[in-house]
Amino acid sequence: MKKVRSRLNDRLQIAGILLTMCDARTNLCKVITEQLTDTFDGQIRIFKSIIPNTVKVGESIYYSEPLLEYAPENKACKAYRNLAEEVSGDES
């Protein structure tokens, strides 16, 4: 981050931390989420949205289609929509 700021964009800021490729059923995901919260809570925003790892994401990339068009009802697509709302401040 410091290198990018100093070399390319001194106004660059971190909007927050986003967990991706997560499988909430695994202990690893739970441990990482807990460690992240313990380490950064109050210092940097941790997005509530968590992007799950799904086959449809890889398929949409393979077929060069946006996930929103390829699999709009997929849980990863829904999670990305939730993230967009969270970032824009339109959380319901």
* pLDDT tens digits along 55-70: 999 999 999 999 999 9
Range of the domain at 68: 2-88
Q: What share of the chain is helix, strand, coil (3-state, %, to 5)?
A: 50, 15, 35
Q: pTM of whole model > 0.85?
A: no
Q: How many domains does the chain have?
A: 1
pLDDT at 47: 94
The backbone region for 88, taken as left when phi is positive above 0, alpha when psi lies in -120 to 50, beta otherwise, is alpha
pLDDT in tens, 10-42: 888 888 999 999 988 899 999 999 999 999 988
